[in-house]
Amino acid sequence: MTEDTMTVDGADPRFAALPGRPGKIIAVHLSYASRADQRGRRPADPSYFFKPSSSVAATGGTIERPAGTELLAFEGEVALVIGTAARRITLDEAWSHVAWVTAANDFGVYDLRANDKGSNVRSKGGDGFTPIGPHLVDARAVDPAALRLRTWVGGELRQDDTTAGLIFPLAQLVADLSQHFTLEPGDVILTGTPAGSSVVVPGDVVEVEVDAPGAPGAPSSGRLVTTVTQGARGFDGAVGSLPAVDDRQRAEAWGSRAEAGLEPEPEPFRLTAALRDKLGRAPVAGLSAQLRRRGLNNVTVDGVRPMHPDAKLVGTARTLRFVPGREDLFASHGGGYNAQKRAFDAVGEGEVIVIEARGEEGSGTLGDILALRAHARRAAGVVTDGGVRDYDAVAAVGIPVYTKGAHPAVLGRRHVPMDADVTIGCGGTTVQPGDVIVGDRDGVIVIPPSIVEEVVDATLAQEDEDAWIAEQVAAGHPVDGLFPMNAEWRARYDAWRAAR
């Protein structure tokens, strides 16, 4: 052991690697870029949960996978141990309040996540679910941006990353937490796990090490060793919810659908250039008639009008849902990187942002800044059954927008941005992410992707037929028997088509 490492003995062997029993253990939900990329989402700010100190375990111990569960997953992490109290400290001051760093394993049972809603009380709070140690590394002797974290399972390296890959630097986590409560000496912060976390089974041996290979003496926590065993006792459904898993939990626990032995998710529907061209030539009125023939009548977004009547709108839906304004909900969901901002930041090329505003036009649902963002993202357009503020500026952006009209008020007057990429109702019709949206001067229509090809082909064929009928009427023929065509006129039309 170098002078930059130490082991602190305590009366309770669970806390042998710590100065004592920690008053608080605070863990970060998602903090490494590699893990965020794996999960397909990157948070704008850190979020946290607590773990009980009774979950701490020393190196060389065991962890039980509870009976009736299948998804016990390891998460190698860098643990920070607070040395001096910190309350409302600055970012520059934060690292000086950290006394030591060491290794930790933030075990969790995905089968128990369903009712935790992000708190992870049951899924990560079990006895022995937070091994820490075995040695403490002096925080003053290392660069917080140059710590290395590695995890092995059965001797095979599964995680290998450094704190340079953090979305949120270690000092930021300390400073942020100190805004909300006092970090006291001995408190532990678990700083998140990189990509590579996966499921372990009884008999597996998991080892975690944190070191600073670039620092003098290359100080190391040593390897934190935990053996997985099978628990004999399960859970009593009479007093609480029972374990439950689905394929999404399996994929997240294992790290991917492939690792979980699941079939790949089907590729999302995408409009080809040829199909987009056909839809661009098909009038909404004609598409509506073909959908009606297939039993779909409630597919028009009613009450909205185009800000650019001569522009055709074609794309796939990206949805955004507003709920009625309520002060407490707006305080929790309206500020920061809310669902509205996330939707406009995430919209892709050729997609249409469709907004559920419940037909409430007493407030704007977007303005010029968000219209510019959608335009920069090469979105196909925006459809909202609410109002638009900065109306002239939005119109000047040039992106097709359908709305109920103009209103100067900001979002909070009538709406709370609740969520994105969910099934919504807009203008009296249901819209799901990926639905095909087509708009022209007649209005906006929603087409299920599974039938869009046949619907647009039938629409264009009908347009050819209608154009021919119009020519006959213009030439003086009566509409009786021609519109719709009887057998005689149908034969004439078929002969005309064959001769083309």
pLDDT the model gives residue 398: 93
Strand, helix or coil for residue 487: helix
pLDDT the model gives residue 440: 97
Q: What is the pLDDT of residues 46-77, one digit of tens each?
A: 999 999 999 999 999 999 999 999 999 999 99
Q: How far apart are CA 200 and CA 75, in angstroms?
A: 11
pLDDT the model gives residue 8: 47
Which residues make Cβ contacts (< 8 Å) with residue 381, sequence separation at least 6? 311, 313, 315, 352, 353, 374, 399, 400, 401, 402, 437, 439
Tell me the CA distances in angstroms from 5 to 115, 143, 163, 299, 432, one per residue in order.
Answer: 40, 15, 19, 67, 56
Q: What is the pLDDT of residues 63-122, one digit of tens each?
A: 999 999 999 999 999 999 999 999 999 999 999 999 999 999 999 999 998 888 789 999
**Cross-strand partners of 485:** 482
Q: Provide the residue ranges of all domains of the chain, joining segments of one domain with +.
A: 5-254, 298-447, 454-499
pLDDT the model gives residue 115: 81
- How many other C-beta atoms are found inside a 10 Å radius of the C-beta of residue 226? 24
Q: What is the pLDDT of residues 283-333, one digit of tens each?
A: 999 999 999 999 999 999 999 999 999 999 999 999 999 999 999 999 888
pLDDT the model gives residue 267: 79
Is the separation of the CB atoms in 394 and 401 below 8 Å?
Answer: yes
pLDDT the model gives residue 165: 95
pLDDT the model gives residue 149: 98
3.50.50.60, 2.40.30.10, 3.50.30.40, 3.40.50.970: which CATH number matches 298-447?
Answer: 3.50.30.40
Query: What is the CATH code for 5-254?
Result: 3.90.850.10
pLDDT the model gives residue 405: 94
Query: In the numeric block, which tokens belong to residue 237?
Result: 């459904």
- Using alpha carbons, select from 348, 384, 391, 396 the residue that is nearest to residue 367: 391
Low-confidence ranges of the chain (pLDDT < 70): 1-10
What pTM, to 2 d.p., does this model score? 0.63
pLDDT the model gives residue 424: 97
